[in-house]
Structures are given as C-alpha cells and as structure tokens.
C-alpha cells in the first residue's frame, strides 16, 4: 500500500468537499494561479492544510477561467471568505522574460501550458470574486501580493502602480509566508468579527478612510508623491526596507488618493515547533488526481526537503528579505528525518534526496544572537560587500543533519542543490563542512552565485568583493584534488545590474578569460517589485545615500553586456565585438592571448572544436554543463 493512499488532497469540487469535511459550503475558498499540487513547496497547499488543521473546511479553485465570474462559483459563497493568490511566482515574472518577451512554458500548469492564468492574477481574480459575490470577505496573499503591498515601480508598465490592495478591491492583504496571520484572520472571522474591524493582525495590510483610530505609525510619501518624485520614491522604499522586522518594525501608512494604506508590522517568525508542524501536515505530495497532464514544477521538489526559511544574505536584487525576512527559521533534525523516511517509501524514490535547504542552504541559525531579541540591524547588512564582524559562522548543525540523513536506510545520496553562500562558507575556520559537502553532497557541479567581479557593481549588489570568490574557487579545487575527486563549480553571473557599465562588463569578460571560466547561464537583471536594485533601476539613485547610479536600460547596451559574458560563443561574437569597439577596447579584438573575440571573419574549425555553433544557445541544455575553474579547459575537455 502506498504510504499516501490514506491521505486525500483538499477538495476541488463540492462532492470532494462533502466527502472530506461533511459540508457542501466551505468556510474558505482558496483561489490560485497555480495548478493545485498538494505538497509543502506550494503556498496554496500549505495555507489550505493549515486551515484544515485548525478545523476549517477548505475548497480550492486552481487556475479558474477568469474571463467571467462563473469559474469562481464552484463552491458557491463561502461561509467565511475567499483567499486569493497568484501562485508561487509573481504572474508577470511567470509570463515574461527580463526582455519582456512572452515565455514559452509555465511550469506550474498541467503540461507546462501557458495562458492558464491572467497577467496580474491577484487583481484579476479578486475583481471576479467581487463580481460574483459582492461584499464577501476577500483576503489576498502570496508572493505577488506581498511584494506589491505598497505603491511600487512596475517594470512591465514602466511606471509606479498603486498598492495591489487598492487595485484588487480586497479587504485585507496578508504579506510574508502567511501561516500565522492566516490562522488569526480565520479565527477573527469565525468569531463573528466584521472583516472591516480586523485591523490589528501583524503581517497584514488594510485600507482606511481615516487615521483617527490608527496608532503608533509612521507615514511615508504617498502614491501621488512617489509617482512623480524619484527621491520621494527612494525615501518611501527605504522606510519599507528598514521596517521589515517583526521585533522593531513600525506600522507604516501610505496615502493613496483620499484613503490610506495601513501596513502593520511583520508577523513573528514561526517557532521551530510551528515550522515542523506546518511541514508535517498530511500532504499527499502529489498533484490533484483530476490532472491528466504532468505538472513540471513538482520535478524539482518531489524528493527535496525544505529545512529553513529566511535569509540574512542581503543581496540587493533579491526580494526574500521583503517577503521571508532576515531571521533564519530552521526545522528540527527529527522533523526532517521523519520527512526523509516518508520519501523513502514513495513509489518513485530511487534513493536520492535532491536537496536539503531553503533560500540559502547553509544558513541554519540567525546571523547573531542579537536578532532574536533586538531585531535585525537597520543600518548594516549581515553579509554583503563587507560582512558584519558580529556574524556567527557555524556549520556544525547543518553538517550533523546531513550526516543523519545520508545514514538513513534506503538513502543512497543526499544532494545540496539550493544556494550555498560561498562567503559564509569561507568565513568558517573549520573546513569540516566544506570537505563533507564536496565528498558527499555535490552531484559533480556546485552552484554558486558570484554575480559579478567589478567591485563597484558588487558593492551595489551587496555581494562580497570579487577576491573572495577567487579564493573560494582555489580552495574548492584544492580540496577536490586532495580527495581525489573531479568536480566543478557552476557560477551564476548577472548582466546589466544597476551600476554596471560596458567597462564593468569588459572587466568581467577579461576575468572569465583569464580564469578559464565559461558561464553558460547568464541572467539579465530583472527589476521585480520589492528589491533595492529595482529601486535603483527606476530612480537612478542608491536609496541608502541618494548617490547617483548608472543604469543600463538601452536594449542594445544590455545585449552587449550579456554578450561580453559569453564572448566565447560564436552566436555572441558580433555583439561582443561591437561592445569592445564602442568602449574603445579594440585591443581585445584579434588572435592575441588576451583577446576576447577574433577579427570579423569566420572560424568554423575552432567553433566546431569547442563544441559551439553559431546558433543561439539553448540555456536549458547549457545549464546542465559543468564549468571547470582555472586555466585547464584542454585538460578537462570532454568531461564537462
């Protein structure tokens, strides 16, 4: 008997609702832009299971037809309210690349099919709910709502948009991961409290026509101000950024027209027991059985373990701080071992746990003890271009956890595939974890994200100075050699980040040439809501000190910067050559040892020898190829 046979997914029909809960009208209807996969890597499953564990009946409407209100009437009017999310990704990021081109597939939909959710899904779904049921209590949440809770720059419209709470017409916005405030909201509604009176819950936002009953708040520049004045936008953003702390965060108020958005302070992080409990609810760990086509999103997480939440890495381009916060929450060893044992009983398990991690795999504890009582510092980053001297570096707990997991019967290998902070790893004076990582937990390629090599760009990214990455690569290769292993580093680099000029991109290209690195996956900077880098992109200012920042926005220049990172591919040579000419660096064109690209003539023999063609590279294929470190391309040729 399959271990999960006795478990049932949450209902997607009235019949299933009656079978599971014994009712024909649910307490809550959850609407999501993703297909419903009953696995704890998906927000709808978590929120639905948390509500069910507290005695509430739940129905799920996944990817409804939004062209009319009919698709939102599956369960009728719920007893307590609707909860709406766009899915595990912002719907605009899900639909469009950084160059604003429509993507070809949606991994969160059956068969990877595109077009099963609308752009700006939270707003569209909410408007349809209102059309169907008027004044029903309506709560929005998930990543799209969370990162758009204030007036924000929208890359796709290239303008500042109002809070999504205004555009959606919802009553309450729940931001962050949501379990704690979801239960509080449900209990308040169940007690008979009007949704308009639920104004006190941490981790939520609401709109009001008067500040008369709002206490202890700080007002930030209004939507109208930040739409017209980029310095006002920077000031508003920095207040939001600095108050993203459950212990010290203030209640923020932002005027929109004749009403005010009220953002209560963030919810407290889950305790370890609460965190364990969430991930040990009776998930089936499978897509709902009504789906006939495979949903690709399950592939990456089916045999992985989520061990942590939160990140104190402080990368400027990452929205994690604004969503999960900087304080690390870690599940207990016992909980993770129980889940790992469950994985070994699943029919398709082959003995490999694909990942044990979270936003940053090797963070298993807060950056320092002070964070637990006094909150995260507002005026400094724990890690960044320069790390705080108070950061406590310790991999012992993570090392011990991995040892226990790989010793389980039925487990052949435990991989670590989520992000490793190489700077945090290098700050550890004890090499035990790094040695065990290399020996037991790398599948031939270790993914790390130096992002750039120019100190000016790294400082704006809040990434460690480039010299540390070099030392990490050297140490990694040295330890591999000592242990008789041949494994590579897969580095991730970013083009066109604020502060990156053509000279910066050339500096990176020269570094790649010198060290023999050939990155085959490059991400063009994507200005998503809620990040420090997006604020720089929109305003041309560093909001921390209001200093001007160069922002590459011209599509031609962005193409040049990207091409320089992959100058070695024939497809990008013409563009890279054009960039070098524009920057006055013709010395890097030719056949010399330090040259990046040849003169403008074909070299078919060399291209064929290197395994590249003049066709546009397939990033899905290329990303699976390892990248050797050091000047040893010839030696390692054929083993990549």
Q: Same domain for 42 and 175?
A: yes
In this prediction, residue 616 has a pLDDT band, given cuts at 50, 70 and 90, of low
In order, the DSSP letters of 236-259 are HHHHHHHT--TTTPPEEEEEETTE
Question: 110 in a domain, yes or no?
Answer: yes
pLDDT the model gives residue 600: 85
Residue found under tokens 């992985």:
304
Residue found under tokens 């160059």:
99
Q: Is the pLDDT of residue 637 over 80?
A: no
Q: Same domain for 112 and 197?
A: yes
Q: Is the pLDDT of residue 635 over 80?
A: no
Distance CA 566, CA 622 (A): 12
pLDDT the model gives residue 522: 86
Determine contact, residues 165/261, Cβ cutoff 8 Å.
Answer: yes
Q: Which of 204, 229, 260 is the last residue of a domain?
A: 204
Question: 262 in a domain, yes or no?
Answer: no
In order, the DSSP letters of 519-570 are -S-EEE----TT-HHHHHHHHSEETTTTEE------HHHHHHHHHHHTTTSH
Question: 433 in a domain, yes or no?
Answer: yes
Q: Same domain for 403 and 498?
A: no
Q: Same domain for 411 and 552?
A: no
Determine contact, residues 252/216, Cβ cutoff 8 Å.
Answer: no
Mean of the pLDDT values across residues 240-259? Answer: 95
The interaxial angle of helices 179-190 and 43-53, nearest 10 deg, is 40
Q: Same domain for 101 and 76?
A: yes
Contacts of 237 by beta carbon, 8 Å cutoff, 6+ apart? 532, 535, 543
Question: 310 in a domain, yes or no?
Answer: yes
132-167: per-residue pLDDT in tens? 999 999 999 999 999 999 999 999 999 999 999 999
Contacts of 115 by beta carbon, 8 Å cutoff, 6+ apart? 106
**Residue 583 carries which DSSP code?**
T
pLDDT the model gives residue 617: 67
Q: Same domain for 90 and 188?
A: yes
195-219: per-residue pLDDT in tens? 999 999 999 999 999 999 999 999 9
Instruction: Give the helix, strand, coil percentages of the chain, each rounded to 5.
Output: 35, 15, 50
In this prediction, residue 179 has a pLDDT band, given cuts at 50, 70 and 90, of very high
C-alpha dist (Å) from residue 603 to 302, 598, 599, 606: 45, 8, 10, 6
Q: What is the CATH number of the domain that holds 353?
A: 3.30.750.210
In this prediction, residue 105 has a pLDDT band, given cuts at 50, 70 and 90, of very high
Q: Is the pLDDT of residue 631 over 70?
A: no
pLDDT the model gives residue 545: 95
Q: Is the pLDDT of residue 23 over 70?
A: yes
Mean pLDDT, rounded, of the chain: 91
Domain that holds residue 356: 303-443
3-class SS at 154?
Answer: strand
Radius of gyration of the chain, Cα coordinates, nearest whole angstrom: 25
Q: How many CB atoms lie within 10 A of CB 622?
A: 17
In this prediction, residue 335 has a pLDDT band, given cuts at 50, 70 and 90, of very high
392-445: per-residue pLDDT in tens? 999 999 999 999 999 999 999 999 988 889 999 999 999 999 999 999 999 888
Question: 230 in a domain, yes or no?
Answer: no
Question: 624 in a domain, yes or no?
Answer: yes
Q: Is the pLDDT of residue 626 over 80?
A: no
Q: Which of 180, 204, 228 is the last residue of a domain?
A: 204
Q: Same domain for 355 and 453?
A: no
Q: Is the pLDDT of residue 639 over 50?
A: no
Distance CA 565, CA 622 (A): 14
Distance CA 406, CA 500 (A): 43
253-281: per-residue pLDDT in tens? 999 999 999 999 999 999 999 999 999 99
38-81: per-residue pLDDT in tens? 999 999 999 999 999 999 999 999 999 999 999 999 999 999 99
pLDDT cut 70: percent of the chain above it:
93
Q: What is the CATH number of the domain that holds 638?
A: 3.30.750.200
Q: Same domain for 490 and 529?
A: yes
Determine contact, residues 99/524, Cβ cutoff 8 Å.
Answer: yes
In order, the DSSP letters of 430-450 are --HHHHHHHHHS-SSEEEEEE
Determine contact, residues 519/492, Cβ cutoff 8 Å.
Answer: yes
pLDDT the model gives residue 614: 56
Distance CA 626, CA 573 (A): 22
Entry pTM: 0.92
Q: Is the pLDDT of residue 615 over 80?
A: no
Question: 308 in a domain, yes or no?
Answer: yes
In this prediction, residue 336 has a pLDDT band, given cuts at 50, 70 and 90, of very high
Q: Which of 178, 204, 230 is the last residue of a domain?
A: 204
Q: Same domain for 469 and 418?
A: no
The 3-state secondary structure of 266-318, one letter per residue = CCCCCCHHHHHHHHCCCCCCCECCCCCCCCHHHCCCCCEEECEECCCCCCCCC
The tokens describing 602, both together, are: 């074909």
Determine contact, residues 53/281, Cβ cutoff 8 Å.
Answer: yes
Mean of the pLDDT values across residues 291-306? Answer: 96
Q: Is the pLDDT of residue 172 over 90?
A: yes
Q: What is the CATH number of the domain that holds 109?
A: 3.40.50.2300
Question: 71 in a domain, yes or no?
Answer: yes
More confident residue, 81 or 635: 81
Residue found under tokens 């760009």:
457
Q: Same domain for 572 and 634?
A: yes
Contacts of the segment 224-232: beta carbons below 8 A, 24+ positions apart: 224/255, 224/257, 226/151, 226/160, 227/151, 227/159, 227/160, 230/538, 230/539, 230/540, 230/541, 231/539, 231/541, 231/546
In this prediction, residue 619 has a pLDDT band, given cuts at 50, 70 and 90, of very low
Whether the CA torsion 235, 236, 240, 243 is positive or negative: it is positive
Distance CA 534, CA 553 (A): 12
Which region among 289-293, 479-483, 520-524 has the lowest average model confidence (pLDDT)? Answer: 520-524
Closest to 309 measured CA to CA, from 356, 358, 276, 267: 358
- The structural domain count of the chain equals 3
Closest to 362 measured CA to CA, from 433, 275, 466: 433
The tokens describing 25, both together, are: 């009208």
108-132: per-residue pLDDT in tens? 999 999 999 999 999 999 999 999 9
pLDDT the model gives residue 293: 97
In this prediction, residue 632 has a pLDDT band, given cuts at 50, 70 and 90, of very low
The 3-state secondary structure of 79-144, one letter per residue = CCEEEEECCCCCHHHHHECCCCCECCCCCCCHHHCCCCCCCCHHHHHHHHHHHHHCCCCEEECHHH
Determine contact, residues 63/106, Cβ cutoff 8 Å.
Answer: no
- Strands 172-174, 58-62: pairing is unpaired
Q: How many CB atoms lie within 10 A of CB 554?
A: 10
The tokens describing 373, both together, are: 């009582």
366-379: per-residue pLDDT in tens? 888 888 888 888 87
Q: Same domain for 393 and 475?
A: no
pLDDT the model gives residue 7: 82
Q: Same domain for 406 and 483?
A: no
Mean of the pLDDT values across residues 310-317? Answer: 90
């Amino acid at each position: 008997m399959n271990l999960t046979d006795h478990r049932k997914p949450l209902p997607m029909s009235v019949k299933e609702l009656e079978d599971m809960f014994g009712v024909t009208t649910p307490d809550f209807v959850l609407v999501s832009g993703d297909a419903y996969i009953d696995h704890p890597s998906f927000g709808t499953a978590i929120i639905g299971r948390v509500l069910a564990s507290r005695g509430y009946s739940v129905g799920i409407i996944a990817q409804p037809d939004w062209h009319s209100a009919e698709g939102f009437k599956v369960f009728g009017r719920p007893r307590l309210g609707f909860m709406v999310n766009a899915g595990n990704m912002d719907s605009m990021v899900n639909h469009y690349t950084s160059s604003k081109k429509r993507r070809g597939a949606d991994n969160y939909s059956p068969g990877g099919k595109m077009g099963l959710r609308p752009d700006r899904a939270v707003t569209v779904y909410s408007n349809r709910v209102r059309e169907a049921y008027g004044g029903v209590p309506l709560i929005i949440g998930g990543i799209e709502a969370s990162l758009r809770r204030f007036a924000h720059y929208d890359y796709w419209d290239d303008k500042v948009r109002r809070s999504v709470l205004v555009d959606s017409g919802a009553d309450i916005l729940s931001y962050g991961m949501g379990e704690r405030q979801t239960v509080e909201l449900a209990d308040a509604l169940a007690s008979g409290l009007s949704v308009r009176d639920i104004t006190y819950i941490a981790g939520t936002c609401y709109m009001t026509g008067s500040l008369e009953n709002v206490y202890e708040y700080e007002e930030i520049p209004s939507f109208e101000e930040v739409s017209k004045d980029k310095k006002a936008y920077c000031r508003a953003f920095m207040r939001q950024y600095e108050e993203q702390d459950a212990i010290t965060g203030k209640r923020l108020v932002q005027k929109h027209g004749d009403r005010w958005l009220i953002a209560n302070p963030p919810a407290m992080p889950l305790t370890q027991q609460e965190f364990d409990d969430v991930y040990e609810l009776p998930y089936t760990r499978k897509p709902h059985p009504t789906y006939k086509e495979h949903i690709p999103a399950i592939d990456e997480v089916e045999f992985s373990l989520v061990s942590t939440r939160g990140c104190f890495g402080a990368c400027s381009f990452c929205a994690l701080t604004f969503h999960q916060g900087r304080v690390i929450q870690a599940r207990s060893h016992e909980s993770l071992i129980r889940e790992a044992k469950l994985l070994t009983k699943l029919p398709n398990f082959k003995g490999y746990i694909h990942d044990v991690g979270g936003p940053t795999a090797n963070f298993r504890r807060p950056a320092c003890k002070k964070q637990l009582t006094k909150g995260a510092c507002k005026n400094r980053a724990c890690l960044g271009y320069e790390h705080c001297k108070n950061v406590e570096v310790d991999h012992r707990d993570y090392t011990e956890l991995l040892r226990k997991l790989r010793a389980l019967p039925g487990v052949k290998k435990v991989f670590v595939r989520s992000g490793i902070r190489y700077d945090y790893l290098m700050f550890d004076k004890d090499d035990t974890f790094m040695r065990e990582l290399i020996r037991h937990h790398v599948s031939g390629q270790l993914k790390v994200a130096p992002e750039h090599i120019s100190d000016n760009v790294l400082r704006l990214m809040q990434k460690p100075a480039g010299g540390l990455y070099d030392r990490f690569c050297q140490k990694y290769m040295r330890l591999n050699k000592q242990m008789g292993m041949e494994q590579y580093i897969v580095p991730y680099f970013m083009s066109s980040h604020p502060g990156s000029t053509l000279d910066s991109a050339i500096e990176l290209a020269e570094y790649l040439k010198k060290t023999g690195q050939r990155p085959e996956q490059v991400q063009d900077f994507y200005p998503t809501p809620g990040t420090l880098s997006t604020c720089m992109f929109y305003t041309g200012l560093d909001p921390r000190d209001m200093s001007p920042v160069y922002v590459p926005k011209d599509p031609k220049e962005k193409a040049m910067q990207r091409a320089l990172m992959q100058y070695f591919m024939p497809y990008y040579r013409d563009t890279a050559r054009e960039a070098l000419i524009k920057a006055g660096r013709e010395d890097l064109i030719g056949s010399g040892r330090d040259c990046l690209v040849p003169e403008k003539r074909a070299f078919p023999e060399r291209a064929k020898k290197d395994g590249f063609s003049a066709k546009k590279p397939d990033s899905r294929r290329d990303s699976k190829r390892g990248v050797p470190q050091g000047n040893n391309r010839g030696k390692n040729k054929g083993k990549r």
